Amino acid sequence: MIEFISDELINTQKEYMKSVRLINQDKKRTAVVVTYGCAQNETDSDKLYAMLFEMGYQKGTDEKTADLVIYNTCSVRENAEVKVYGKVGTLKAKKKKNPDMVIGVCGCLMQQPHASERIKKTFPFVDMVFGTHVIHEFPKMLHQVLTQRERVISVDSVDGVIAEGVPVVYDKWYKASIPIMYGCNNFCTYCVVPYTRGRERSRHSRDILTEINTLVQGGLKEVTLLGQNVNSYGKDLENDMDFADLLSAICEIPEIKRVRFVTSHPKDLTDKLIGVMKEHKKICNSLHLPFQAGNNRVLKEMNRRYTREDYLNLVRKIRDAVPDIALTSDVIVGFPGETEEEFYDTLSLIKEVRFDNLFTFIYSPRKGTKAALMDDPRTYEEKLKNFNELLEVQTEICREANEAYLNNTYEIIDEGLSKNNPQMRQGRTTTNKVINYKQNAAVSEGDFVTVRVTEVMSWSLVGEQV
Ligand code: SAH
Ligand code: SF4
Ligand code: F3S
């Protein structure tokens, strides 16, 4: 059962925030939240920070010196998991020196019993262990740690809740990521997300629109709508909008100039949505549409519920409607039982579609998923060889896709100084390409700027303001 958290319960949390603020009075407390994983985890961390600020903490510079450290974990692949154990271990000595330090571990990995048990047993100095469903109760948990100096553990597995009214901070004033739904019902056989994030549940459209309209007053121009499968937005709500309607409603807000969304599941992308994408120029010309594998037997074993042909048809329809759209995707190499021949079906799909960018993963077995129990006869080295072959092909495709940008001009939203070269600034096109550019007139972060592309790299573009 999906539960909407009542205003009353949210107000109780506000009382806890006040109490913690009093405890921290006159002490200069700093906090650091370290985030792993996807945009969903980022938005959870934004909520943790907002609550911490209300409780008298300031953002610290690093984990080693902060009074409070939280690791917001991800469990989608093994390397994300391994990293966390190492990181938490390094805090042991810090905590010994400063017994007042508060350490928390939260997020998706903590919804997996083997992992939360390991954190509890191996790291007795961790004060708080909590999962994805109780973020809104963070003030209460922290209050308990500070006043009673006892460990708080809250990792129950539930279908999931929706908590509105939890404070949140936004990184930038001109662009924001807004979750429109939580959880996932798809149970792709390799994936742990349905277990860590619970069932699919949509926020009411009025809450989403209110949030956006409030941010617009601060200058918001670009919004990214978040969900594991945004195409099924609203299916669980009676008398509310579907995803296409929600997009249209957001495009009606005059101050909003750009709308993006991730992630789309191919099986739920409707003709109605394609129509809306064609109609509204504010919807950015980029679409992330994970295909995962190019072979029908593998797709079936993955429980993706579309075929290679369905996927290619969908790509055709989208490109017919929005010809200059940039397509990106996710792909897994080495799913259990995938043969080398089947891998070549993935490679041929990549060559056929020619994605602008691809997020490539080697299959990683996850506890609790169906695929983890499947026979997996191929060695890691064999998979790695295929993976590298795929990367090589994709790098070339990316470069060629970028070459089409050379000497053309694009409107970007400036995002400040370039990360690789502080002499330059950077911004993104509607197709979500980063252009590092030379400034020729006054520019402030968040401005629309017209830029001509003067040089092309495999993964980015270089340009000049015109
Ligand atoms: N909801 C999104 C994806 C979320 S996870 C979607 O369905 O598209 C992001 C990506 O991680 C997935 O698209 C998949 O390519 C990859 N992934 C998930 N589980 C994995 C696993 N066990 N091993 C390797 N890659 C995995
Ligand atoms: Fe995982 Fe599949 Fe759900 Fe995406 S749609 S989160 S890959 S189960
Ligand atoms: Fe995201 Fe990782 Fe959780 S990808 S939903 S943070 S398992």
Give the separation between CA 394 and CA 355, rounded to whole angstroms.
Answer: 8
CA nearest 446: which of 401, 405, 407, 415?
Answer: 415
Spatial CB neighbours of 112, under 8 Å, sequence gap ≥ 6:
75, 192, 195, 196, 367, 368
- For 461, phi then psi, to 5°, come to -125, 150
Give the separation between CA 291 and CA 148, rounded to whole angstroms.
Answer: 50
Give the separation between CA 44 and CA 179, rounded to whole angstroms.
Answer: 10
CA nearest 201: which of 169, 164, 167?
Answer: 164
Nearest-atom number in ligand 3 for the CA of 75 is 7
CATH C-level class of 409-465: mainly beta
As given in the structure block, the two tokens for residue 194 are 């349905």
What percent of the chain has pLDDT above 70?
A: 100
295-347 pLDDT, tens digit each: 999 999 999 999 999 999 999 999 999 999 999 999 999 999 999 999 999 99
CA within 13 Å, CB half, 163: 20
CA 240 to chain centre: 25
Nearest-atom number in ligand 3 for the CA of 132 is 3
Give the separation between CA 135 and CA 165, rounded to whole angstroms.
Answer: 12
Q: For 440-464, give one letter per residue: b (16+ CB within 10 A) or e.
A: eeebeebeebebbbeebeeebbbbb
Give the separation between CA 71 and CA 310, rounded to whole angstroms.
Answer: 40
Mutate to test the pocket of ligand 1, among 38, 40, 75, 76 (most ligand atoms within 8 A of CB): 76
267-298 pLDDT, tens digit each: 999 999 999 999 999 999 999 999 999 999 99
Give the separation between CA 243 and CA 301, rounded to whole angstroms.
Answer: 28
For atom 5 of ligand 1, the residue with the nearest CA is 76
As given in the structure block, the two tokens for residue 417 are 């100084």
User: What pLDDT is stored for residue 116 in this prediction?
Assistant: 97
Residue 460 scores a pLDDT above 90: no
361-380 pLDDT, tens digit each: 999 999 999 999 999 999 99
As given in the structure block, the two tokens for residue 292 are 């995962």
Residue 266 scores a pLDDT above 80: yes
CA nearest 410: which of 386, 392, 430?
Answer: 430
CATH code of the domain made up of 3-161: 3.40.50.12160
User: What pLDDT is stored for residue 459 in this prediction?
Assistant: 81
Beta strand 448-456 pairing with 409-417:
antiparallel
Nearest-atom number in ligand 1 for the CA of 264 is 8
Residue 1 scores a pLDDT above 80: no
Helix boundaries (H) for 91-167: 92-97, 113-122, 138-148
Give the separation between CA 334 and CA 95, rounded to whole angstroms.
Answer: 41
Ligand nearest to the CA of 75: 3
Are 250 and 223 spatial neighbours (Cβ–Cβ below 8 Å)? Answer: yes
Give the separation between CA 224 and CA 11, rounded to whole angstroms.
Answer: 28
Give the separation between CA 183 and CA 131, rounded to whole angstroms.
Answer: 13
CA nearest 76: which of 400, 392, 420, 371?
Answer: 371
Residue 223 forms beta bridges with which residues?
176, 259
As given in the structure block, the two tokens for residue 36 are 């792993």
As given in the structure block, the two tokens for residue 414 are 């400036």
Give the separation between CA 456 and CA 223, rounded to whole angstroms.
Answer: 27
Residue 420 scores a pLDDT above 90: no
Are 362 and 379 spatial neighbours (Cβ–Cβ below 8 Å)? Answer: no
- Using the structure block, give the residue that is written with the tokens 């079906």: 345
Ligand nearest to the CA of 291: 1
User: What pLDDT is stored for residue 457 in this prediction?
Assistant: 85
Q: Is 449 in the pocket of ligand 2 (CB under 6 A)?
A: no
CA nearest 293: which of 302, 282, 280, 281?
Answer: 302
- For 449, phi then psi, to 5°, come to -135, 140
User: What pLDDT is stored for residue 458 in this prediction?
Assistant: 80
Query: Cis bond leading into 263, ω under 30°?
Result: yes
Provide the angle, in degrees to the nearest 10, between the axes of the packed helices 271-279 and 243-251.
10
Mutate to test the pocket of ligand 2, among 188, 264, 291, 299 (most ligand atoms within 8 A of CB): 188
Residue 446 scores a pLDDT above 90: yes
Ligand 3 centre from 215 Cα, in Å? Answer: 26
What percent of the chain has pLDDT above 90?
A: 94
Give the separation between CA 364 and CA 308, rounded to whole angstroms.
Answer: 22
169-403 shares the fold of 3-161: no
Burial of 122 (0-12, 13-18, 19+ CB in 10 A): exposed
Question: Which residues' Cβ are closer than 6 Å to ligand 1?
Answer: 76-77, 190-191, 193, 228-229, 263, 265, 290, 292, 330, 332, 361, 363-364, 366
Helix (H) or strand (E) holding 389: helix 380-403
Give the separation between CA 229 and CA 33, rounded to whole angstroms.
Answer: 26
User: What pLDDT is stored for residue 239 in this prediction?
Assistant: 86
The domain segmentation of the chain, as residue ranges, is: 3-161, 169-403, 409-465
Ligand 2 centre from 306 Cα, in Å? Answer: 14
User: What pLDDT is stored for residue 163 in this prediction?
Assistant: 95
Average the pLDDT over 40-66 and give the result.
96
Residue 137 scores a pLDDT above 90: yes
89-121 pLDDT, tens digit each: 999 999 999 989 999 999 999 999 999 999 999
212-251 pLDDT, tens digit each: 999 999 999 999 999 999 999 999 998 889 999 999 999 9
Q: Is 197 in the pocket of ligand 3 (CB under 6 A)?
A: yes
Give the separation between CA 46 and CA 60, rounded to whole angstroms.
Answer: 14
146-202 pLDDT, tens digit each: 999 899 999 998 888 999 999 999 989 999 999 999 999 999 999 999 999 999 999
CA 15 to chain centre: 30
Residue 39 scores a pLDDT above 80: yes
Residue 254 scores a pLDDT above 80: yes
**How high does pLDDT run on average in the chain?**
96
Are 71 and 104 spatial neighbours (Cβ–Cβ below 8 Å)? Answer: yes
Residue 427 scores a pLDDT above 90: yes
- What is the residue type of 236? D
Domain 169-403 CATH superfamily: tm_1862 like domain (3.80.30.20)
Mutate to test the pocket of ligand 3, among 193, 226, 229 (most ligand atoms within 8 A of CB): 193
